[in-house]
Amino acid sequence: MRQGHDTTTAGISWVLFLLALHPDVQERVCEEIESIFPPDDNRPATMQDLNELKLLERCIKEALRLYPSVSFFGRTLSEDIQLGGYHVPAQTIVGIHAYHVHRDERYYPEPEKFDPDRFLPENTENRHPYAYIPFSAGPRNCIGQKFALLEEKSLVSSILRRYRLRSVRTREEQLIMHELITRPKDGVLLYLESRKKVQ
């Protein structure tokens, strides 16, 4: 659970940062949110509400593609394999760098571009299952990934119901720390402007 809080916090930071940099996408997400929560509706989100936030979910997935919370991990081979023409014996520890996997141009044209529509069903159905691994993959994948997505949708939608976001830094200016968790160096600096109209 402790690890899940850290990774989810990083994921939330990155999606808020990217939405702040893309006001057109942010406004589309806010329209989606307002279709479920009218402006004066202060009730908390239900599971059904969160499941209807399809565009927001695509934004979170795209943020996790660009900034996977755990950008590298290792696996020990259980059997000998051939990899790129080389024999790799069982018990070898293999490092997998999700940050670079998610920038493979065969699957993600213009890989540095923030494009939530990469995760429309028609754009994902033929994608290799291991081309997107923010929660690892296979038998050792993260058991909390569905919970993490719901948690991020809940918090991000709650913020966007109240505030319009702008970023202090550009993507080039925002440095990344690849530690155990992919963190924004010195945090993410945002301007928050109330969405409520002044009477």
Q: To the nearest whole percent, how much of the chain has pLDDT over 70?
A: 93
1 pLDDT more than 50: no
Give residue limits of the domains in the chain.
1-194
pLDDT of residue 136: 72
Average pLDDT over residues 47-75: 94
pLDDT of residue 199: 47
Q: Which helix (H) or strand (E) holds 191?
A: strand 190-194
Report DSSP letters for 68-84, one per residue. Answer: -SS-EEEEE-SS-EEET
Give me the chain's average pLDDT, please.
Answer: 91
Q: Which of 66, 43, 68, 71 is nearest to 154 (CA)?
A: 43
- Name, of 51-60, 179-188, 189-198, the range with top average pLDDT: 51-60
pLDDT of residue 23: 97
Side chain identity at residue 31, one-letter code: E
Per-residue pLDDT tens digits for 112-148:
999 999 999 999 999 998 999 888 777 667 666 787 8
Which residues are registered as beta bridge partners of 164?
Answer: 193
**CB burial of residue 180 (10 Å; 0-12, 13-18, 19+):** middle
Per-residue pLDDT tens digits for 15-28:
999 999 999 999 99
Annotated binding site for heme: 142
Cβ count near 167 (within 10 Å): 20
Q: To the nearest whole percent, how much of the chain has pLDDT over 90?
A: 71
| CATH homologous superfamily, domain 1-194 | Cytochrome P450 (1.10.630.10)
Per-residue pLDDT tens digits for 68-123:
998 888 889 999 999 889 999 999 999 999 999 999 999 999 999 999 999 999 99
Annotated binding site: 142
